[in-house]
Amino acid sequence: MKIAISGKGGVGKTTIMAMLAHYLNQEGRDVLVIDADPSPHMAQSIGVENVDRIVPIADMKELLVERSGKTEGSSFYNLNPQIDDLLADFIVERNGIKLMVLGAIQTGDKGCACPENTVLKRMLTRLLLSPTQVVLLDMEAGVEHLGRGTIAGVDRLLVVVIPSKSSVRTALKVKKLAEDVGIANIAFVGNLVQDAEDEAFLTEALGQAPIAFFPDAAGVRKTERAGQPIINAAAEVAAATEALAARLLAG
């Protein structure tokens, strides 16, 4: 099972993915989380120690260029780079949850980073094709990754949305772009929901009910502000996490 998560920045994608990873691991699943956000926070969320020492693979420019086979002064590079050893070398484990901090290529004013992107996308493809694990992919905010076709091939895309018009607009745009790149199984997940009025607002604005509603839990905020693993507050959102997992495992 391969699940990606997206949505507007600040809606709680990483929190929900961390809670889902924790729950599935507790249920005996082999869980691999791929943090593909330009500002990765999943390591802290699941309790990995010394997170400052983790360098996202996307930031290892020399390694990526080397694996791409691109040479100085040449515009040619290998479209099928060797990455099998990287898959093993850059996975860390904490509390039974495996994590790979992939990051995302930042081109900025440096132009195209095509060779590096080729290596990253091949790594992502190999991981997403693994038949033995539950793979959870924490994507960058917004919709750009869908335009690049980064997550095509996942079994399901979860779009996290909070009870606000701007979040709904982004969520609907993500859904449209996901459909355009061939992702058929798309679902919304409500977060920071305070009451039935918020649930009704999201259901009406989205044109369908989210498959789970996560509460606006003070314990989650306090845990994050204290610099503690988000999963320490799992009890605060246990019912919502269980409901989400049940829907996903049911297919």
Q: What pLDDT score does 232 carry?
A: 94
Q: What pLDDT score does 110 carry?
A: 42
Query: What is the DSSP-derived secondary structure letter of residue 76?
Result: -
One DSSP character per residue, 186-242 reads EEEEEEEE-SHHHHHHHHHHHTS--S-EEE--HHHHHHHHTT--GGGGGGGGHHHHH
Q: Where do the structural domains in the chain lie, given as residue ranges?
A: 2-249
Query: What is the DSSP-derived secondary structure letter of residue 142?
Result: B
- 199-245 tens-digit pLDDT: 999 999 999 999 999 999 999 999 989 989 999 999 999 999 999 99
Task: Give the lowest-confidence range in 38-42, 110-114, 245-249.
Answer: 110-114
Angle at which helix 165-180 crosses helix 196-206, to 10 degrees, equals 40
Question: Identity (one letter) of the amino acid at 161?
Answer: V
Q: What pLDDT score does 111 carry?
A: 42
d(CA 78, CA 118): 8
pLDDT tier for residue 128 given thresholds of 50, 70 and 90: low
Average pLDDT over residues 150-169: 86
Who's near 28: CB < 8 A, 6+ residues apart?
A: none
- 180-201 tens-digit pLDDT: 878 889 999 999 999 999 999 9
Q: Is the pTM of this model over 0.85?
A: no
Task: Give the lowest-confidence range in 68-72, 121-125, 132-136.
Answer: 68-72
3-state secondary structure of 156: strand
Task: Give the lowest-confidence range in 62-71, 146-155, 160-169.
Answer: 146-155
Q: Which fold has domain 2-249?
A: Rossmann fold (3.40.50)
Asked if 17 contacts 150 with a C-beta cutoff of 8 angstroms, the reply is no
